[in-house]
Structure 1
Amino acid sequence: MAGAGPTAVLSSGKKMPLLGLGTWQSTSEQVINAVKIAIDAGYRHIDTAWVYGNEKDVGQAIKEKIAEGKIKREDVFVTTKLFSTFQRPEHVRDAMMQSLDGLGLDYVDLYLIHSPQGLKYGSNPFQHSGDVEDLFDEVDYIDTWKAMESLADEGLAKSIGVSNFNTQQLERLLQNCRIKPAVNQVELHPYLAQQQLVDFCKRNDILVTAYSGLGAPARPRRAQSGEEEPVLMEDPTVVEIGKKYGKSAAQVLIRYHLDRGVSVIPKSVTPSRIQANFDVMDFSLSKEDLTSLGQLDRKLRYLGANLFTTHKFFPF
């Protein structure tokens, strides 16, 4: 994977570029352009999900870049995710085929269970006005995982993993799996360092991928309490470290993840930012700076999925 930057070898034996492009909450045109610009800038890892509604756009951009001769299919690492409404084992393969169809690909490099919490098949939690508990499905993620393993057997997903799983859920999954999860994708940044989870994953050869790794800068800044949420990229420690290296706050935060041995998928649709986010290969943070960033931990979860707190598999 030339130009991909640092990579990790997953427990599946496959190589994954640690720095990828996130594509959540972007319009169709934005996603197509962002993916094309990212590939030109050197990114070789693109992260999407069925629920983002943009697999088709991601696929189109990749197809155009392959047609241009910029990349081959095997040069780009594509991650997508099984949404919570498809978690019953009988729906898993169908969901995978829908994603492959949207992406226009024969396989994905990584397929993740988007969350340990199942929701009723065919429901839409984003357009539900009644009691959210009516949407809950008690399907066990262990059963979902067994169906995921079949996708790996078939070669439809080269690696399989999970997202938003906590340590106890991973522990239980490891005790009941035939193929272990290669990746756990979670919210992770200096305000939510999750050191125990990161350590657990390292011990068990599960690569951690950080979403909202820059502190979810695009989302509204109002906590449930009504108070303003702190903006990670404006934190004095982050800004100071940036000055020291002649780098932006975003570049410092991306480097923080890479230097922790964590994968990170910053989302941007701005060409200059997509490029700048990749321009982090020419420096590393000192031990002292990593320690200073580690001390910012305030257990702040920007994306808490608070609608689902009463679900029996709620992970936070």
Structure 2
Amino acid sequence: MATVVLKRTGQKMPLVGFGLWKVTKDTCAETVFNAIKAGYRLLDGAGDYGNEKQAGEGVKKALAAGIVKREELFITSKLWNTFHAHDHVKALAKKQLSDWGLDYFDLYLVHFPISLKYVDPTHRYPPEWFGDDGKVYTQNTPLQETWKAMEELVDEGLAKNIGLSNCQGSLIIDLFRYARIEPAVLQIEHHPYLTQEPLVQLCKTFGIAVTGYSSFGPQSYVELGMAKGTSLFEHDVITSVAKSQGRSVTQILLRWATQRGIAVVPKSNNHDRLVQNLDCNTFDIPEADMKKISSLNIGLRLNDPAEIDPRLAIFA
């Protein structure tokens, strides 16, 4: 399995993982079990997805069946915005580990560089973006405080690696000024309509591995009613490359990323597509076609918190 080696720990993170975003609770356990059975070793979850208990059940079933050992899996989770205060970070990470039925995460990410007012998990979980009245309440917790608590998770063995998600260059550069443990991974929205090449280059310079989510662009948001722009599945450039390679459009979109060293975490509830996605690293796209795909960049960002509240314009 193709991997990327994480700088500080030397741990190997698979280049292709299974994403748990939008996987429904009632199917999650079986979907995770089937993904592991099909050969997936990286599972990308988050507290905000609301399905970590079910994902953990799928992992437990796979372990019990002898398909894998725990150390053969690479499990990622993320810290939600309402838990950025120092003392809330560890409490939330422990809750999430309990939900998964795990002793440690291989990777734990700050989901967004956005601090929102604390919501007690016993009151509402996952808390999402809003207070009980449907309004957004920010909280004045700096990333430096949150990151110190993230580092303590590593010290205590609750997370092997820590990282960031949805962060831009200026904040990453600032974090490097005070970080005792540098971020191992940055997870970003990444597809041919949003290539983010300067950010990817910055991460390469700093030795930060990059994971791309929403690899299929607008298609990733259809079921949420949030799709914008022309589907990459129907774009002439993508379909022509797929035809010339004898591959599916999803395999082309995933290989375009992994061929450039960027990990991907696609999700599928269809078993055949799940297997097909995992098989995206068994061929190479010609360099001329790689450039054609990259030239589709139009800066189309589909996951932008500014659309929830202008005070959350982290990509402005």
Q: TM-score range by the shorter chain?
A: over 0.9
Aligned residue for 2:245?
Answer: 245
Kindly report which structure 2 residues correspond to 1:133-144, keeping only aligned pairs within 5 A, or say none.
Answer: 135-144=137-146
Question: 2:234 corresponds to which letter in structure 1?
Answer: E
Secondary structure at the counterpart of residue 219 of structure 1? helix
Equivalent residue number for residue 268 of structure 1 = 268
CA RMSD across the alignment? 1.8
User: Is the contact between residue 221 and residue 229 of structure 1 (CA under 8 Å) also seen in structure 2?
Assistant: no
Tell me: CA distance 1:126–1:271, structure 2 relative to 1, closer, same or farther (3 Å).
farther
* Structure-2 residue corresponding to 1:98: 95
Aligned amino acid, residue 62 of structure 2: K
* Change in 2 beyond 3 A, CA 1:228/1:152: closer
Any stretches of 5+ residues in structure 1 without a counterpart?
none
Q: Which residue of 1 aligns with 2:207?
A: 205
Equivalent residue pairs, number:
307
TM-score normalised by the chain length of structure 1:
0.93
Q: Which runs of 4+ in 1 moved over 3 A?
A: 126-131, 220-224
The two structures have a TM-score, normalised by structure 2, of 0.93
Separation in structure 2 between the aligned mates of residue 131 and residue 60 of structure 1, nearest angstrom: 34
Structure 2, unaligned runs of 5 or more: 120-126
SS at match of 1:25: coil
> Deviations along 1:81-103, whole A, 9 cap, x unmatched?
00000001110000100100000
1:309 corresponds to which residue?
310
Map residues 32-111 of structure 1 onto 2, 5 A cutoff.
Answer: 32-111=29-108
Instruction: Output the CA distance in 1 between the equivalents of 2:38 and 2:303.
Output: 29
Q: For residue 216 of structure 1, report the CA deviation from its aligned partner.
A: 4.4
- By how many angstroms is 1:40 displaced? 1.5
* Cα distance in 2, alignment partners of residues 221 and 65 from structure 1: 29
How far apart, in 1, do the equivalents of 2:131 and 2:23 lie? Answer: 19
Matched, 1:17 2:14: yes
Report 1:229-240 matches (<5 A): 229-240=229-240
Matches within 5 A, 1:184-223: 184-220=186-222
- Indicate if the aligned counterparts of 2:228 and 2:302 stay in contact, CA closer than 8 A: no
Q: Is the 8 A contact 1:37 1:274 kept in 2?
A: no
Q: What's the counterpart of residue 7 of structure 1? A: 3
**Identity, % of aligned pairs?**
39
Contact 2:48 2:128 in 1 (8 A): no
SS in structure 1 of the partner of residue 281 of structure 2? coil
1:129 offset after TM fit, Å? 4.8
Amino acid of the structure 2 residue aligned with 1:209: T
SS of match in other structure, 1:81 = strand
Q: Structure 1 residues 64, 150: CA separation in 2 closer, same or farther (over 3 Å shift)?
A: same
DSSP 3-state at the match of 1:119: coil
CA distance in 2, matches of 1:70, 1:220: 33
